[in-house]
Amino acid sequence: MKTAFNGLRNAAYSTAISVVISVVISVAISLAGVGTMVVASSPFNLVSANDTVSVAPIRLAAADTNRLLPLTSIASPDALISKALQDIRASRMDDALREVNRAIALRPDFKLAHLIRGDLLTARMRPLAGLGAASKAPSASLDDLRDEARVRLLRYIDQPASDLLPRQILQLAPQQKYALLADTSRARLYLFENVDGVPQLKADFYMTIGKNGTDKRVEGDKRTPMGVYQITEQLPRAGLADLYGDGAYPLNYPNEWDRMQGHGGHGIWLHGVPSNTYSRPPRSSDGCVVVANPDLKELARWIKVGSTPVIITDRTDWISLSEWEKSRDDLLAQLNQWKHAWEARDPDRFLHHYSSNMTSGKGASWAKDKRRNILGKEWIRVDLSDISLFLYDNGDMAYAEFTQHYSSNTISSVSSKRLYWQMQQGAWRVALEKAQDTPISNKLAQR
């Protein structure tokens, strides 16, 4: 009788957690784009083996145990807690408690693990209404931990298929061996390796962003900026406040585009957590991107100051190789047309590649000087190398960075150039251009 009664209590808690997990699944599907996928039968009975779901090609972790717990992370606290949550969903309470205890043994400062452990032990005595019901913590703290449970589980439910690529990273230059993509809606920091210019997913890490979300505008708004950034330096733990954990990597926020938009603030870093903390809730920083200290140490192996880009987006758009190649080739074609119009010394065609803010109003004098400069040359040659291409979150803005070798009958120079493109009336137009020139000759160049 006692065993049956405890079973009912465990089932009640399992049902309560099922609601949490069901919400996660609903969020995962609602976040997905339009597409069609047939998924295998799940032990959670989410879908049958023959069901067709109209969503993007995500993978349900429960349908693929290899993706649920990759061998490289089988003993990580992150993986253990996600496994425990799924064990609870399947009413495997003893298995869940074992996974939670393993997570706590690895990280005694893992607050979410302690919360779930307390629930599991209390559920043996009395029914619980949901995650954190046994805790006496303030409601705001419980909400934070529930949110952490949600996004940690989401990592195993909403995963890209291995053959998909991120639309936000369209090309990496040879010197950019790795790139970081911060997906704020999933609370995941993706690490990509540059394989012949193509970003291949290498690892991902749970992360925290600003208390008030994204789209930073002003100083003190506790939001995380969106865009393409560079790591400007590496700050070791020594000399830093404990808040920043095992180190920090300042980003170049605000970049030139942010300043053009009037966005203010400063001090946006990628950094660790305090020494007495394993992880923080998904939204708990003052705007920085924050990861656990072990993850920061792992990332330090791949980050190179000045060449590792950090793209912060609302949601990673995973697309097929063919779609990715088309997006990349379309933008490369636009860049080449810009280059050829310049070499042809056709100022009208060249300036047609720029938005109106670059050619009229305050930009009129720049356009006039550019026209005169082009027409004043007998010949022009422009070579582009080390090209990297990125898309901003909404897809109607692109960022191109490259080395430009310019030569004419009067001068030769090498520049590090950055172009910010906006989609206007179905065509890409340069809305901002910045360059750091290093003249290599003040003599007449040879044809």
> What's the pLDDT at 43?
28
In this structure, the answer to whether residues 70 and 140 fall within a common structural domain is yes
Question: What's the mean pLDDT in 63-87?
Answer: 63
Res. 18 pLDDT band, cuts 50 70 90: low
Q: If you average pLDDT over every residue of the chain, what do you get?
A: 82
Q: Is the pLDDT of residue 138 over 90?
A: no
What pTM, to 2 d.p., does this model score?
A: 0.81
Nearest CA to 93 among 83, 84, 101, 102?
84
Cα 336 to Cα 328: distance, rounded to the nearest angstrom: 12
Nearest CA to 267 among 283, 289, 246, 299?
289
> What's the pLDDT at 135?
64
Nearest CA to 70 among 151, 148, 159, 150?
159
Q: Which pairing describes strands 235-236 and 227-230: parallel, antiparallel, or unpaired? A: unpaired
Residue pair 405/441 in contact by the 8 Å Cβ criterion: no
CATH number of the structural domain spanning residue 433: 3.10.450.50
- Residue 274, both tokens: 């305090």
Residue found under tokens 């307390």:
118
* Range scoring the smallest mean pLDDT among 92-106, 136-150, 163-177, 190-204: 136-150
Residue 268 main-chain phi, psi, to 5 deg = -90, 115
In this structure, the answer to whether residues 241 and 105 fall within a common structural domain is no
Question: What's the mean pLDDT in 318-335?
Answer: 96
In this structure, the answer to whether residues 341 and 434 fall within a common structural domain is yes
Residue pair 185/83 in contact by the 8 Å Cβ criterion: no
Number of domains in the chain: 3
Q: Is the pLDDT of residue 124 over 90?
A: no
> What's the pLDDT at 155?
80
Question: What's the mean pLDDT in 186-193?
Answer: 96
Using one digit for the tens of pLDDT, what is the confidence trace for 108-121? Answer: 999 888 888 888 88
Cα 5 to Cα 407: distance, rounded to the nearest angstrom: 84
**Of the residues 296, 318, 340, which one is the last residue of a structural domain?**
318
Res. 128 pLDDT band, cuts 50 70 90: low
Q: Is the pLDDT of residue 40 over 70?
A: no
In this structure, the answer to whether residues 7 and 149 fall within a common structural domain is yes
In this structure, the answer to whether residues 208 and 311 fall within a common structural domain is yes
Cα 296 to Cα 321: distance, rounded to the nearest angstrom: 30
Res. 323 pLDDT band, cuts 50 70 90: very high
Please write down the HEC assignment for all residues of the chain.
CHHHHHHHHHHHHHHHHHHHHHHHHHHHHHHCCCCCEECCCCCCCCCCCCCEECCCCEECHHHCHHHHCCHHHCCCHHHHHHHHHHHHHCCCHHHHHHHHHHHHHHCCCCHHHHHHHHHHHHCCCCCCCCCCCCCCCCHHHHHHHHHHHHHHHHHHHCEECCCCEECCEEECCCCCCEEEEEECCCCEEEEEEEECCEEEEEEEEEEEEECCCECCCCCCCCCECCEEEEECCCEECCCCCHHHCCEEEEECCCCHHHHHCCCCCCCCEEECCCCCCCCCCCEEECCCEEECHHHHHHHHCCCCCCCCEEEEECCCCEECHHHHHHHHHHHHHHHHHHHHHHHCCCHHHHHCCECHHHHCHHHHHHHHHHHHHHHCCCCEEEEEEEEEEEECCCCCEEEEEEEEEEEECCCEEEEEEEEEEEEECCEEEEEEEEEEEEEEECCCCCC
In this structure, the answer to whether residues 203 and 281 fall within a common structural domain is yes
Res. 60 pLDDT band, cuts 50 70 90: very low
Cα 222 to Cα 27: distance, rounded to the nearest angstrom: 25
* Range scoring the smallest mean pLDDT among 135-149, 245-259, 291-305: 135-149
In this structure, the answer to whether residues 61 and 183 fall within a common structural domain is no
* Range scoring the smallest mean pLDDT among 123-132, 173-182, 240-249, 425-434: 123-132
Q: Is the pLDDT of residue 42 over 50?
A: no
96 domain-assigned: yes
Using one digit for the tens of pLDDT, what is the confidence trace for 336-363? Answer: 999 999 999 999 999 999 999 999 998 9
278 domain-assigned: yes
Nearest CA to 422 among 401, 400, 397, 399?
397
Higher pLDDT, 387 or 160: 387
**Of the residues 318, 338, 369, which one is the last residue of a structural domain?**
318
**Of the residues 318, 348, 372, which one is the last residue of a structural domain?**
318
243 domain-assigned: yes
Q: Is the pLDDT of residue 65 over 70?
A: no
Please, which residues have CB within 8 angstroms of residue 174's CB and are 6 or more apart in sequence? 194, 197, 386
111 domain-assigned: yes
Question: What's the mean pLDDT in 11-16?
Answer: 54
In this structure, the answer to whether residues 118 and 176 fall within a common structural domain is no
- Residue 417, both tokens: 């150039």
In this structure, the answer to whether residues 305 and 328 fall within a common structural domain is no
Question: What's the mean pLDDT in 115-132?
Answer: 78
* Range scoring the smallest mean pLDDT among 59-73, 163-177, 282-296: 59-73
Res. 149 pLDDT band, cuts 50 70 90: confident
Q: Is the pLDDT of residue 73 over 80?
A: no
Q: Is the pLDDT of residue 446 over 60?
A: no
Q: Is the pLDDT of residue 395 over 50?
A: yes
447 domain-assigned: no
Res. 442 pLDDT band, cuts 50 70 90: very low
Question: What's the mean pLDDT in 363-391?
Answer: 96
Cα 170 to Cα 68: distance, rounded to the nearest angstrom: 28
- Residue 232, both tokens: 């400007």
By residue range, what is the domain housing residue 70? 2-159
Higher pLDDT, 9 or 334: 334
Cα 215 to Cα 374: distance, rounded to the nearest angstrom: 39
Residue 163 burial by Cβ neighbours in a 10 Å radius (0-12, 13-18, 19+): exposed
Question: What's the mean pLDDT in 50-71?
Answer: 35
Cα 265 to Cα 386: distance, rounded to the nearest angstrom: 31
Residue pair 235/250 in contact by the 8 Å Cβ criterion: yes
In this structure, the answer to whether residues 15 and 54 fall within a common structural domain is yes
Question: What's the mean pLDDT in 271-280?
Answer: 92
End-to-end CA distance of the chain: 95
Residue pair 117/149 in contact by the 8 Å Cβ criterion: no
In this structure, the answer to whether residues 23 and 121 fall within a common structural domain is yes
Please, which residues have CB within 8 angstroms of residue 224's CB and are 6 or more apart in sequence? 182, 184, 209, 210, 213, 214, 216, 268, 285, 287, 288, 289, 312
> What's the pLDDT at 49?
32
In this structure, the answer to whether residues 301 and 342 fall within a common structural domain is no
197 domain-assigned: yes
